[in-house]
Chain A
Amino acid sequence: MPYDEKTQRVQAEIEEKIEEMEQPGYHFPKRLGARDYAAVCIVAGICLFFLIWGAFL
Protein backbone atom coordinates (compact mmCIF):
# COMPACT_ATOMS: atom_id res chain seq x y z
CA MET A 1 0.00 0.00 0.00
CA PRO A 2 1.48 3.42 -0.92
CA TYR A 3 2.64 5.59 1.98
CA ASP A 4 -0.05 8.29 1.49
CA GLU A 5 -2.81 5.71 1.39
CA LYS A 6 -1.49 4.20 4.65
CA THR A 7 -1.43 7.61 6.27
CA GLN A 8 -5.01 8.29 5.24
CA ARG A 9 -6.12 4.93 6.54
CA VAL A 10 -4.42 5.52 9.87
CA GLN A 11 -5.91 9.00 10.14
CA ALA A 12 -9.36 7.63 9.38
CA GLU A 13 -8.98 5.01 12.12
CA ILE A 14 -7.76 7.60 14.61
CA GLU A 15 -10.68 9.91 13.80
CA GLU A 16 -13.04 6.97 14.29
CA LYS A 17 -11.56 6.22 17.72
CA ILE A 18 -11.70 9.86 18.80
CA GLU A 19 -15.35 10.10 17.74
CA GLU A 20 -16.11 7.01 19.77
CA MET A 21 -14.48 8.61 22.82
CA GLU A 22 -16.61 11.73 22.29
CA GLN A 23 -19.86 9.78 22.50
CA PRO A 24 -21.78 10.48 25.73
CA GLY A 25 -22.05 6.76 26.46
CA TYR A 26 -18.33 6.05 26.19
CA HIS A 27 -16.87 4.73 29.43
CA PHE A 28 -13.36 5.87 30.10
CA PRO A 29 -11.24 3.64 32.37
CA LYS A 30 -11.88 4.25 36.04
CA ARG A 31 -10.00 7.36 37.10
CA LEU A 32 -7.73 7.87 40.05
CA GLY A 33 -9.73 9.22 42.97
CA ALA A 34 -8.89 11.25 46.04
CA ARG A 35 -7.87 8.09 47.90
CA ASP A 36 -5.40 7.18 45.16
CA TYR A 37 -3.76 10.58 45.26
CA ALA A 38 -3.66 10.34 49.05
CA ALA A 39 -1.97 6.93 48.73
CA VAL A 40 0.60 8.45 46.36
CA CYS A 41 1.35 11.21 48.89
CA ILE A 42 1.61 8.73 51.75
CA VAL A 43 3.93 6.41 49.80
CA ALA A 44 6.08 9.36 48.74
CA GLY A 45 6.18 10.61 52.31
CA ILE A 46 7.22 7.22 53.69
CA CYS A 47 9.97 6.90 51.07
CA LEU A 48 11.24 10.38 51.80
CA PHE A 49 11.29 9.64 55.53
CA PHE A 50 13.38 6.50 55.06
CA LEU A 51 15.73 8.23 52.61
CA ILE A 52 16.41 10.99 55.15
CA TRP A 53 16.74 8.46 57.95
CA GLY A 54 19.21 6.48 55.83
CA ALA A 55 21.53 9.48 55.74
CA PHE A 56 22.05 9.12 59.50
CA LEU A 57 22.86 5.39 59.48
Chain B
Amino acid sequence: MQREIDQTIEKESIFGVIPVLSHKKLYRFLDAFLVLSGYCIATWSYTQGSYLATLVGFKQLLIGAFFGAILMLVIYQLPVILSVRYGIDIWIWLRSVFGQNGVKVMTLLIILINFPWYAVCADLFSSSMSNLISLFGISLPGGCHVLLAILCVLIGTGIAYRGIGAITWSTRILVPLLLAVGVGVIVVGFTSVPLDVIWNYTPAGSGSSHSIVPYIVSVEANFAFVITLVGGMAEVPRLTKTERGGLWAGVLGQGVCGSLFVVVGAVMAIAMQYVTGEMIDDPTRMLATLAVPALAVSSLLLVAFANIGTQAVGSYIYGVMLKSSFQKVQYRTLIFLLALYVVLLCIWGQITTYFGSFLTISACIYAPLAALLFVDFFLVRKQTISLRSAFALPGYRAYHYTRGFNWVGFFCVAAGCGLSLMVYNPVTGQVHQPVLFYITPTGFSFLGTGALYYLLSRVPPIRRYLLRDRAEVTV
Protein backbone atom coordinates (compact mmCIF):
# COMPACT_ATOMS: atom_id res chain seq x y z
CA MET B 1 0.00 0.00 0.00
CA GLN B 2 2.76 2.45 1.00
CA ARG B 3 4.75 1.47 -2.10
CA GLU B 4 1.72 2.28 -4.24
CA ILE B 5 1.41 5.71 -2.61
CA ASP B 6 5.13 6.39 -3.14
CA GLN B 7 4.87 5.40 -6.77
CA THR B 8 1.85 7.64 -7.34
CA ILE B 9 3.58 10.60 -5.68
CA GLU B 10 6.71 9.96 -7.69
CA LYS B 11 4.68 9.74 -10.87
CA GLU B 12 3.01 13.03 -10.12
CA SER B 13 6.14 14.90 -9.07
CA ILE B 14 8.38 13.58 -11.81
CA PHE B 15 6.04 12.86 -14.68
CA GLY B 16 3.72 15.69 -13.69
CA VAL B 17 6.17 18.19 -15.18
CA ILE B 18 5.73 16.77 -18.69
CA PRO B 19 4.01 19.30 -21.01
CA VAL B 20 0.26 18.84 -21.37
CA LEU B 21 -0.66 18.92 -25.05
CA SER B 22 -3.75 20.62 -26.45
CA HIS B 23 -5.81 17.47 -26.89
CA LYS B 24 -5.16 16.48 -23.26
CA LYS B 25 -6.48 19.70 -21.74
CA LEU B 26 -9.29 19.11 -19.25
CA TYR B 27 -10.85 22.39 -18.26
CA ARG B 28 -13.05 24.91 -19.93
CA PHE B 29 -13.42 28.35 -18.31
CA LEU B 30 -16.21 27.30 -15.91
CA ASP B 31 -14.39 24.20 -14.64
CA ALA B 32 -11.21 26.16 -14.03
CA PHE B 33 -13.20 28.99 -12.44
CA LEU B 34 -14.84 26.61 -9.95
CA VAL B 35 -11.58 24.87 -9.04
CA LEU B 36 -9.74 28.15 -8.53
CA SER B 37 -12.63 29.62 -6.55
CA GLY B 38 -12.52 26.63 -4.23
CA TYR B 39 -8.78 27.01 -3.80
CA CYS B 40 -9.23 30.54 -2.40
CA ILE B 41 -11.82 30.03 0.24
CA ALA B 42 -9.74 28.78 3.12
CA THR B 43 -10.53 30.08 6.60
CA TRP B 44 -7.52 32.41 6.46
CA SER B 45 -9.78 34.68 4.35
CA TYR B 46 -11.60 35.55 7.58
CA THR B 47 -8.32 36.59 9.19
CA GLN B 48 -7.65 38.86 6.22
CA GLY B 49 -11.16 40.32 6.34
CA SER B 50 -11.08 41.09 10.05
CA TYR B 51 -7.59 42.61 9.67
CA LEU B 52 -8.92 44.93 6.95
CA ALA B 53 -11.83 45.88 9.23
CA THR B 54 -9.35 47.24 11.79
CA LEU B 55 -7.98 49.61 9.13
CA VAL B 56 -10.85 51.05 7.10
CA GLY B 57 -14.60 51.49 6.96
CA PHE B 58 -16.83 49.02 5.17
CA LYS B 59 -17.15 50.97 1.90
CA GLN B 60 -13.39 51.37 1.51
CA LEU B 61 -12.99 47.74 2.56
CA LEU B 62 -15.31 46.59 -0.24
CA ILE B 63 -13.44 48.68 -2.80
CA GLY B 64 -10.01 47.51 -1.68
CA ALA B 65 -10.97 43.86 -1.36
CA PHE B 66 -12.55 43.53 -4.81
CA PHE B 67 -10.89 46.14 -6.99
CA GLY B 68 -7.49 45.85 -5.33
CA ALA B 69 -7.49 42.08 -5.75
CA ILE B 70 -8.73 42.13 -9.36
CA LEU B 71 -6.26 44.85 -10.39
CA MET B 72 -3.28 42.93 -9.03
CA LEU B 73 -4.52 39.61 -10.41
CA VAL B 74 -5.31 40.83 -13.92
CA ILE B 75 -1.78 42.19 -14.28
CA TYR B 76 0.46 39.67 -12.58
CA GLN B 77 -1.48 36.62 -13.76
CA LEU B 78 -1.24 37.49 -17.47
CA PRO B 79 1.77 35.17 -17.89
CA VAL B 80 -0.45 32.14 -17.08
CA ILE B 81 -1.07 32.09 -20.80
CA LEU B 82 2.36 30.49 -21.18
CA SER B 83 1.08 27.57 -19.11
CA VAL B 84 -2.00 27.23 -21.29
CA ARG B 85 0.02 27.52 -24.50
CA TYR B 86 2.90 25.18 -23.72
CA GLY B 87 1.24 23.01 -21.07
CA ILE B 88 3.98 23.76 -18.53
CA ASP B 89 4.07 25.21 -15.05
CA ILE B 90 5.51 28.71 -14.56
CA TRP B 91 8.34 27.10 -12.56
CA ILE B 92 9.59 25.51 -15.78
CA TRP B 93 9.66 28.96 -17.45
CA LEU B 94 11.29 30.44 -14.34
CA ARG B 95 14.35 28.30 -15.01
CA SER B 96 15.10 30.89 -17.70
CA VAL B 97 14.90 33.64 -15.05
CA PHE B 98 16.75 31.97 -12.16
CA GLY B 99 18.72 29.11 -13.74
CA GLN B 100 18.32 25.36 -13.27
CA ASN B 101 19.63 25.39 -9.69
CA GLY B 102 18.41 28.87 -8.87
CA VAL B 103 14.79 27.89 -9.35
CA LYS B 104 15.19 25.24 -6.64
CA VAL B 105 16.35 27.94 -4.24
CA MET B 106 13.32 30.06 -5.16
CA THR B 107 11.02 27.09 -4.62
CA LEU B 108 12.39 26.67 -1.10
CA LEU B 109 12.10 30.38 -0.38
CA ILE B 110 8.50 30.48 -1.60
CA ILE B 111 7.57 27.56 0.61
CA LEU B 112 9.30 29.15 3.62
CA ILE B 113 7.30 32.33 3.27
CA ASN B 114 4.05 30.67 2.21
CA PHE B 115 3.74 28.01 4.86
CA PRO B 116 2.92 30.41 7.71
CA TRP B 117 -0.58 30.47 6.16
CA TYR B 118 -0.96 26.94 7.50
CA ALA B 119 0.00 28.12 10.95
CA VAL B 120 -2.93 30.54 10.63
CA CYS B 121 -5.18 27.60 9.77
CA ALA B 122 -3.86 25.57 12.69
CA ASP B 123 -4.51 28.52 14.99
CA LEU B 124 -8.11 28.73 13.79
CA PHE B 125 -8.55 24.97 14.29
CA SER B 126 -7.31 25.32 17.84
CA SER B 127 -9.74 28.17 18.50
CA SER B 128 -12.64 26.22 17.02
CA MET B 129 -11.93 23.19 19.18
CA SER B 130 -11.55 25.32 22.33
CA ASN B 131 -14.83 27.09 21.60
CA LEU B 132 -16.56 23.80 20.85
CA ILE B 133 -15.42 22.35 24.15
CA SER B 134 -16.41 25.50 26.03
CA LEU B 135 -19.98 25.11 24.73
CA PHE B 136 -20.15 22.10 27.04
CA GLY B 137 -18.97 24.16 29.98
CA ILE B 138 -15.39 22.92 29.90
CA SER B 139 -12.57 25.46 29.99
CA LEU B 140 -9.21 24.32 28.65
CA PRO B 141 -5.91 25.46 30.19
CA GLY B 142 -3.91 28.02 28.18
CA GLY B 143 -1.25 25.58 26.97
CA CYS B 144 -3.85 23.52 25.14
CA HIS B 145 -4.11 26.12 22.37
CA VAL B 146 -0.69 25.18 21.01
CA LEU B 147 -1.33 21.47 21.43
CA LEU B 148 -4.58 21.69 19.49
CA ALA B 149 -2.86 23.66 16.72
CA ILE B 150 -0.19 20.96 16.51
CA LEU B 151 -2.93 18.34 16.39
CA CYS B 152 -4.34 20.03 13.28
CA VAL B 153 -0.92 19.95 11.65
CA LEU B 154 -0.42 16.29 12.51
CA ILE B 155 -3.84 15.17 11.26
CA GLY B 156 -3.47 17.20 8.05
CA THR B 157 0.01 15.83 7.46
CA GLY B 158 -1.28 12.35 8.15
CA ILE B 159 -3.85 12.75 5.39
CA ALA B 160 -1.20 14.10 3.00
CA TYR B 161 0.97 11.10 3.92
CA ARG B 162 -1.72 8.86 2.41
CA GLY B 163 -1.20 10.50 -0.97
CA ILE B 164 -3.43 11.65 -3.82
CA GLY B 165 -6.40 9.37 -3.01
CA ALA B 166 -6.82 10.81 0.48
CA ILE B 167 -6.23 14.34 -0.84
CA THR B 168 -8.88 13.93 -3.52
CA TRP B 169 -11.41 12.85 -0.91
CA SER B 170 -10.33 15.67 1.38
CA THR B 171 -10.86 18.21 -1.39
CA ARG B 172 -14.28 16.82 -2.25
CA ILE B 173 -15.31 17.26 1.36
CA LEU B 174 -13.30 20.43 2.00
CA VAL B 175 -14.77 22.79 -0.61
CA PRO B 176 -18.44 22.14 0.29
CA LEU B 177 -17.47 22.44 3.99
CA LEU B 178 -15.85 25.80 3.41
CA LEU B 179 -18.82 27.00 1.41
CA ALA B 180 -21.13 25.84 4.18
CA VAL B 181 -19.04 27.70 6.75
CA GLY B 182 -19.14 30.79 4.56
CA VAL B 183 -22.91 30.61 4.22
CA GLY B 184 -23.22 30.14 7.98
CA VAL B 185 -21.03 33.15 8.69
CA ILE B 186 -22.94 35.30 6.17
CA VAL B 187 -26.33 34.35 7.64
CA VAL B 188 -25.23 34.85 11.23
CA GLY B 189 -23.31 38.01 10.49
CA PHE B 190 -26.07 39.80 8.60
CA THR B 191 -28.82 38.72 10.98
CA SER B 192 -26.91 39.71 14.11
CA VAL B 193 -26.53 43.35 13.22
CA PRO B 194 -28.64 45.85 11.27
CA LEU B 195 -27.44 46.28 7.70
CA ASP B 196 -26.80 50.00 8.15
CA VAL B 197 -24.42 49.22 11.03
CA ILE B 198 -22.27 47.21 8.65
CA TRP B 199 -22.60 49.64 5.74
CA ASN B 200 -21.70 52.69 7.88
CA TYR B 201 -19.02 50.93 9.91
CA THR B 202 -15.76 52.78 10.55
CA PRO B 203 -12.90 51.46 12.71
CA ALA B 204 -12.45 52.94 16.18
CA GLY B 205 -8.88 54.15 15.60
CA SER B 206 -6.39 53.61 12.79
CA GLY B 207 -3.25 54.53 14.75
CA SER B 208 -2.29 57.17 12.19
CA SER B 209 -2.90 60.92 12.13
CA HIS B 210 -3.05 60.91 8.30
CA SER B 211 -6.40 59.43 7.26
CA ILE B 212 -5.25 58.03 3.91
CA VAL B 213 -2.50 55.83 5.40
CA PRO B 214 -4.86 53.12 6.74
CA TYR B 215 -6.59 52.98 3.34
CA ILE B 216 -3.29 52.49 1.53
CA VAL B 217 -2.25 49.89 4.09
CA SER B 218 -5.53 48.07 3.39
CA VAL B 219 -4.95 48.21 -0.40
CA GLU B 220 -1.41 46.95 0.24
CA ALA B 221 -2.85 44.11 2.31
CA ASN B 222 -5.15 43.17 -0.58
CA PHE B 223 -2.31 43.30 -3.10
CA ALA B 224 -0.11 41.22 -0.82
CA PHE B 225 -2.92 38.76 -0.09
CA VAL B 226 -3.56 37.89 -3.74
CA ILE B 227 0.04 37.95 -4.87
CA THR B 228 0.74 35.00 -2.56
CA LEU B 229 -1.12 32.93 -5.15
CA VAL B 230 1.67 33.44 -7.71
CA GLY B 231 3.52 30.20 -6.88
CA GLY B 232 0.61 27.94 -7.76
CA MET B 233 -1.16 30.16 -10.26
CA ALA B 234 -0.42 28.02 -13.32
CA GLU B 235 -1.42 24.55 -12.13
CA VAL B 236 -5.02 24.84 -13.29
CA PRO B 237 -4.44 27.05 -16.38
CA ARG B 238 -1.95 24.42 -17.57
CA LEU B 239 -4.93 22.14 -18.05
CA THR B 240 -7.27 24.76 -19.54
CA LYS B 241 -8.30 24.69 -23.17
CA THR B 242 -7.93 28.38 -24.08
CA GLU B 243 -5.68 31.22 -22.95
CA ARG B 244 -8.72 33.41 -22.33
CA GLY B 245 -10.31 30.75 -20.12
CA GLY B 246 -7.10 30.15 -18.19
CA LEU B 247 -6.54 33.83 -17.49
CA TRP B 248 -10.08 34.88 -16.53
CA ALA B 249 -10.78 31.77 -14.50
CA GLY B 250 -7.96 32.79 -12.18
CA VAL B 251 -8.69 36.50 -12.13
CA LEU B 252 -12.42 36.10 -11.50
CA GLY B 253 -12.23 32.95 -9.38
CA GLN B 254 -9.67 34.40 -7.06
CA GLY B 255 -10.55 38.07 -7.41
CA VAL B 256 -14.31 37.75 -6.97
CA CYS B 257 -14.94 34.54 -5.01
CA GLY B 258 -11.80 34.82 -2.91
CA SER B 259 -12.52 38.47 -2.14
CA LEU B 260 -16.11 37.64 -1.23
CA PHE B 261 -14.90 35.48 1.64
CA VAL B 262 -12.53 38.21 2.77
CA VAL B 263 -15.52 40.56 2.96
CA VAL B 264 -17.48 37.87 4.82
CA GLY B 265 -14.67 37.79 7.37
CA ALA B 266 -14.90 41.54 7.74
CA VAL B 267 -18.69 41.38 8.23
CA MET B 268 -18.16 38.78 10.90
CA ALA B 269 -15.63 40.93 12.74
CA ILE B 270 -17.89 44.00 12.52
CA ALA B 271 -20.84 41.96 13.83
CA MET B 272 -18.77 40.76 16.76
CA GLN B 273 -17.66 44.26 17.61
CA TYR B 274 -21.26 45.48 17.53
CA VAL B 275 -22.51 42.68 19.76
CA THR B 276 -19.60 42.18 22.14
CA GLY B 277 -17.56 45.37 21.79
CA GLU B 278 -14.55 43.35 20.65
CA MET B 279 -13.11 42.98 17.12
CA ILE B 280 -12.75 39.24 16.65
CA ASP B 281 -11.11 37.53 13.67
CA ASP B 282 -12.08 34.04 14.71
CA PRO B 283 -15.16 32.62 12.91
CA THR B 284 -15.51 30.01 15.63
CA ARG B 285 -15.90 32.57 18.40
CA MET B 286 -18.37 34.46 16.29
CA LEU B 287 -20.42 31.38 15.57
CA ALA B 288 -20.28 30.31 19.21
CA THR B 289 -21.34 33.78 20.40
CA LEU B 290 -23.95 34.79 17.85
CA ALA B 291 -25.49 31.55 16.62
CA VAL B 292 -27.95 29.24 18.35
CA PRO B 293 -26.12 26.34 20.08
CA ALA B 294 -27.02 23.67 17.53
CA LEU B 295 -25.82 25.84 14.64
CA ALA B 296 -22.76 26.81 16.63
CA VAL B 297 -21.75 23.19 17.25
CA SER B 298 -22.15 22.13 13.64
CA SER B 299 -20.47 25.27 12.36
CA LEU B 300 -17.53 24.83 14.68
CA LEU B 301 -17.09 21.28 13.50
CA LEU B 302 -17.17 22.48 9.91
CA VAL B 303 -14.45 25.04 10.60
CA ALA B 304 -12.35 22.44 12.40
CA PHE B 305 -12.52 19.95 9.54
CA ALA B 306 -12.03 22.65 6.94
CA ASN B 307 -8.74 23.66 8.54
CA ILE B 308 -7.54 20.06 8.69
CA GLY B 309 -8.40 19.67 5.02
CA THR B 310 -6.55 22.86 4.09
CA GLN B 311 -3.53 21.62 6.04
CA ALA B 312 -3.63 18.32 4.16
CA VAL B 313 -3.94 19.89 0.72
CA GLY B 314 -1.16 22.38 1.47
CA SER B 315 1.20 19.65 2.70
CA TYR B 316 0.49 17.60 -0.39
CA ILE B 317 0.89 20.43 -2.94
CA TYR B 318 4.15 21.69 -1.46
CA GLY B 319 5.40 18.17 -0.81
CA VAL B 320 4.97 17.38 -4.50
CA MET B 321 6.52 20.74 -5.48
CA LEU B 322 9.57 19.99 -3.35
CA LYS B 323 9.72 16.44 -4.69
CA SER B 324 9.94 17.71 -8.26
CA SER B 325 13.00 19.82 -7.31
CA PHE B 326 14.60 17.32 -4.92
CA GLN B 327 13.75 14.04 -6.58
CA LYS B 328 16.05 11.87 -4.50
CA VAL B 329 14.41 12.88 -1.19
CA GLN B 330 11.48 10.78 0.02
CA TYR B 331 8.07 12.46 -0.17
CA ARG B 332 7.39 11.41 3.45
CA THR B 333 10.56 13.18 4.59
CA LEU B 334 9.52 16.33 2.80
CA ILE B 335 6.05 16.53 4.32
CA PHE B 336 7.54 15.75 7.73
CA LEU B 337 9.88 18.73 7.35
CA LEU B 338 6.98 20.92 6.26
CA ALA B 339 4.98 19.79 9.29
CA LEU B 340 7.91 20.52 11.58
CA TYR B 341 8.14 24.05 10.19
CA VAL B 342 4.46 24.74 10.83
CA VAL B 343 4.68 23.22 14.32
CA LEU B 344 7.52 25.60 15.19
CA LEU B 345 5.39 28.52 13.96
CA CYS B 346 2.48 27.27 16.09
CA ILE B 347 4.74 27.10 19.14
CA TRP B 348 5.91 30.66 18.43
CA GLY B 349 2.20 31.52 18.39
CA GLN B 350 2.49 35.07 17.03
CA ILE B 351 1.55 34.58 13.40
CA THR B 352 -1.92 36.11 13.73
CA THR B 353 -0.56 38.96 15.86
CA TYR B 354 1.88 39.88 13.11
CA PHE B 355 -0.52 39.04 10.27
CA GLY B 356 -0.19 42.38 8.49
CA SER B 357 3.61 42.31 8.72
CA PHE B 358 3.67 38.73 7.49
CA LEU B 359 1.60 39.71 4.42
CA THR B 360 3.93 42.50 3.37
CA ILE B 361 7.12 40.58 4.17
CA SER B 362 5.96 37.66 2.03
CA ALA B 363 4.94 40.07 -0.72
CA CYS B 364 8.56 41.35 -0.69
CA ILE B 365 9.47 38.09 -2.43
CA TYR B 366 6.28 37.44 -4.38
CA ALA B 367 6.10 40.86 -6.01
CA PRO B 368 9.60 40.67 -7.57
CA LEU B 369 8.97 37.06 -8.60
CA ALA B 370 5.73 38.01 -10.35
CA ALA B 371 7.38 41.04 -11.99
CA LEU B 372 10.31 39.01 -13.32
CA LEU B 373 7.99 36.42 -14.82
CA PHE B 374 5.85 39.13 -16.43
CA VAL B 375 8.75 41.06 -17.95
CA ASP B 376 10.69 37.97 -18.98
CA PHE B 377 7.69 36.43 -20.72
CA PHE B 378 6.36 39.50 -22.51
CA LEU B 379 9.33 41.78 -23.04
CA VAL B 380 12.63 39.90 -22.75
CA ARG B 381 11.83 36.56 -24.34
CA LYS B 382 8.75 37.79 -26.23
CA GLN B 383 6.65 34.78 -25.29
CA THR B 384 9.07 32.14 -26.59
CA ILE B 385 11.36 29.81 -24.69
CA SER B 386 13.71 26.95 -25.40
CA LEU B 387 11.66 24.10 -23.98
CA ARG B 388 14.56 21.67 -24.31
CA SER B 389 16.82 23.87 -22.19
CA ALA B 390 13.99 24.58 -19.74
CA PHE B 391 13.65 20.84 -19.18
CA ALA B 392 17.46 20.43 -19.18
CA LEU B 393 17.38 17.76 -21.86
CA PRO B 394 20.85 16.36 -22.68
CA GLY B 395 22.88 18.79 -24.77
CA TYR B 396 20.72 21.84 -23.97
CA ARG B 397 22.22 24.18 -21.37
CA ALA B 398 20.95 27.65 -22.27
CA TYR B 399 19.55 28.13 -18.76
CA HIS B 400 22.56 26.76 -16.94
CA TYR B 401 24.03 30.31 -16.73
CA THR B 402 26.63 30.46 -13.92
CA ARG B 403 26.72 27.02 -12.25
CA GLY B 404 22.96 26.81 -12.52
CA PHE B 405 22.22 30.31 -11.23
CA ASN B 406 21.08 33.36 -13.20
CA TRP B 407 22.52 36.10 -10.99
CA VAL B 408 20.63 38.81 -12.87
CA GLY B 409 17.35 37.27 -11.70
CA PHE B 410 18.49 36.98 -8.09
CA PHE B 411 19.88 40.50 -8.12
CA CYS B 412 16.47 41.77 -9.25
CA VAL B 413 14.65 39.82 -6.50
CA ALA B 414 16.96 41.31 -3.88
CA ALA B 415 16.48 44.77 -5.38
CA GLY B 416 12.71 44.26 -5.39
CA CYS B 417 12.76 43.38 -1.68
CA GLY B 418 14.81 46.47 -1.03
CA LEU B 419 12.38 48.65 -2.99
CA SER B 420 9.46 47.44 -0.87
CA LEU B 421 11.29 47.92 2.43
CA MET B 422 12.56 51.31 1.28
CA VAL B 423 8.97 52.52 1.14
CA TYR B 424 7.48 50.97 4.26
CA ASN B 425 8.56 48.98 7.31
CA PRO B 426 6.03 46.16 7.62
CA VAL B 427 7.01 45.33 11.22
CA THR B 428 6.86 48.82 12.73
CA GLY B 429 4.35 50.24 10.23
CA GLN B 430 6.57 53.24 9.56
CA VAL B 431 6.20 54.89 6.15
CA HIS B 432 9.62 55.91 4.80
CA GLN B 433 8.61 57.31 1.41
CA PRO B 434 5.15 58.91 1.52
CA VAL B 435 4.92 59.60 -2.23
CA LEU B 436 5.89 56.07 -3.25
CA PHE B 437 3.68 54.68 -0.49
CA TYR B 438 0.65 55.83 -2.50
CA ILE B 439 1.26 53.04 -5.02
CA THR B 440 1.81 50.62 -2.10
CA PRO B 441 5.04 48.76 -1.26
CA THR B 442 3.92 45.70 -3.25
CA GLY B 443 2.89 47.81 -6.23
CA PHE B 444 6.16 49.75 -6.16
CA SER B 445 8.22 46.58 -5.77
CA PHE B 446 6.40 44.94 -8.71
CA LEU B 447 6.84 47.95 -11.00
CA GLY B 448 10.39 48.68 -9.86
CA THR B 449 11.62 45.10 -10.21
CA GLY B 450 10.03 44.76 -13.62
CA ALA B 451 11.59 48.02 -14.82
CA LEU B 452 15.00 47.08 -13.42
CA TYR B 453 15.00 43.65 -15.08
CA TYR B 454 13.91 45.11 -18.40
CA LEU B 455 16.56 47.83 -18.31
CA LEU B 456 19.26 45.30 -17.42
CA SER B 457 18.11 43.11 -20.31
CA ARG B 458 18.81 46.03 -22.66
CA VAL B 459 22.48 46.21 -21.63
CA PRO B 460 24.27 44.25 -24.39
CA PRO B 461 26.48 41.95 -22.28
CA ILE B 462 23.57 41.15 -19.95
CA ARG B 463 21.27 40.65 -22.91
CA ARG B 464 23.68 38.12 -24.37
CA TYR B 465 23.88 36.41 -20.95
CA LEU B 466 20.09 36.17 -20.71
CA LEU B 467 19.24 35.33 -24.30
CA ARG B 468 21.62 32.53 -25.18
CA ASP B 469 18.54 30.38 -25.85
CA ARG B 470 17.29 32.11 -29.00
CA ALA B 471 18.84 29.67 -31.45
CA GLU B 472 17.08 26.78 -29.68
CA VAL B 473 13.57 28.24 -29.81
CA THR B 474 11.39 26.06 -32.03
CA VAL B 475 7.82 26.70 -30.82
Chain A residues with CB under 8 Å of chain B are: 3, 6-7, 10-11, 13-15, 17-18, 20-22, 26-32, 36, 40, 43-44, 46-48, 50-51, 53-55, 57
Check B71 against A48 for contact (C-beta < 8 Å).
Answer: yes
In the assembled complex, the Cα of A17 lies from the Cα of B25 at a distance in Å of: 14
Asked if A57 meets B67 with Cβ closer than 8 Å, knowing A11-B391, A17-B18, A29-B242, the reply is no
CB-CB < 8 A to B71: which residues of A? Answer: 44, 47-48, 51
Check B68 against A29 for contact (C-beta < 8 Å).
Answer: no
Q: How many residues of B contact A (CB 8 A)?
A: 47
In the assembled complex, the CB of A10 is this many whole angstroms from the nearest CB of chain B, namely 6
In the assembled complex, the CB of A22 is this many whole angstroms from the nearest CB of chain B, namely 5
Asked if A31 meets B81 with Cβ closer than 8 Å, knowing A13-B18, A14-B391, A18-B387, the reply is yes
In the assembled complex, the Cα of A47 lies from the Cα of B241 at a distance in Å of: 27
CB-CB < 8 A to A14: which residues of B? Answer: 17-19, 387, 391, 393
CB-CB < 8 A to A48: which residues of B? Answer: 67, 71
Check A18 against B74 for contact (C-beta < 8 Å).
Answer: no
In the assembled complex, the Cα of A55 lies from the Cα of B475 at a distance in Å of: 46
Does any Cβ of A come within 8 Å of B279's Cβ? no
CB-CB < 8 A to B63: which residues of A? Answer: 50-51, 53-54, 57
Does any Cβ of A come within 8 Å of B258's Cβ? no
CB-CB < 8 A to B247: which residues of A? Answer: 32, 36, 40
Which 7 pairs between the two chains have the least Cβ-Cβ distance?
A47-B71, A54-B63, A47-B67, A50-B67, A17-B19, A30-B242, A32-B243
In the assembled complex, the Cα of A26 lies from the Cα of B475 at a distance in Å of: 10
In the assembled complex, the Cα of A16 lies from the Cα of B391 at a distance in Å of: 12
Check A21 against B242 for contact (C-beta < 8 Å).
Answer: no
CB-CB < 8 A to A36: which residues of B? Answer: 243-244, 247
CB-CB < 8 A to A11: which residues of B? Answer: 391, 393-394
Of A6, A10, A21, A57, which one neighbours B86 at CB under 8 angstroms? Answer: A21
Tell which of A44, A48, A54 has the most Cβ of chain B within 10 Å: A54
Check A28 against B22 for contact (C-beta < 8 Å).
Answer: yes
In the assembled complex, the Cα of A57 lies from the Cα of B87 at a distance in Å of: 44
> Considering the complex, which residues of chain B in the window 306-345 have a beta carbon less than 8 Å from any beta carbon of chain A?
327-328
In the assembled complex, the Cα of A34 lies from the Cα of B169 at a distance in Å of: 41
Check A17 against B21 for contact (C-beta < 8 Å).
Answer: yes
In the assembled complex, the Cα of A43 lies from the Cα of B68 at a distance in Å of: 11
In the assembled complex, the CB of A1 is this many whole angstroms from the nearest CB of chain B, namely 9
Check A31 against B19 for contact (C-beta < 8 Å).
Answer: no
Q: List 6 A-B contacts (CB under 8 A).
A: A20-B21, A27-B22, A29-B84, A31-B243, A32-B247, A40-B78
Of B59, B75, B78, B243, which one neighbours A30 at CB under 8 angstroms? Answer: B243
Give B10-25 as 1s and 0s: 1 = Cβ < 8 Å from A's Cβ atoms.
1000110111011001
In the assembled complex, the Cα of A31 lies from the Cα of B384 at a distance in Å of: 13
Number of inter-chain CB pairs below 8 Å: 109
Asked if A6 meets B14 with Cβ closer than 8 Å, knowing A29-B84, A31-B85, A47-B70, the reply is yes
In the assembled complex, the CB of B259 is this many whole angstroms from the nearest CB of chain A, namely 11
Does any Cβ of A come within 8 Å of B215's Cβ? yes
Residue of A whose beta carbon sits closest to that of B246: A29
In the assembled complex, the Cα of A43 lies from the Cα of B242 at a distance in Å of: 19
Residue of A whose beta carbon sits closest to that of B211: A55
In the assembled complex, the Cα of A57 lies from the Cα of B74 at a distance in Å of: 25
In the assembled complex, the CB of B318 is this many whole angstroms from the nearest CB of chain A, namely 21
Does any Cβ of A come within 8 Å of B209's Cβ? no
Check B85 against A28 for contact (C-beta < 8 Å).
Answer: yes
Give B342-375 as 1s and 0s: 1 = Cβ < 8 Å from A's Cβ atoms.
0000000000000000000000000000000000
CB-CB < 8 A to A26: which residues of B? Answer: 21-22
CB-CB < 8 A to A51: which residues of B? Answer: 63-64, 67-68, 71, 219
Does any Cβ of A come within 8 Å of B60's Cβ? yes
CB-CB < 8 A to A54: which residues of B? Answer: 59-60, 63-64, 67, 215, 219
CB-CB < 8 A to A32: which residues of B? Answer: 81, 243-244, 247
Of A15, A22, A28, which one neighbours B393 at CB under 8 angstroms? Answer: A15
In the assembled complex, the CB of A19 is this many whole angstroms from the nearest CB of chain B, namely 9
Residue of A whose beta carbon sits closest to that of B327: A3
Tell which of B22, B59, B241 has the most Cβ of chain A within 10 Å: B22
Residue of A whose beta carbon sits closest to that of B78: A40
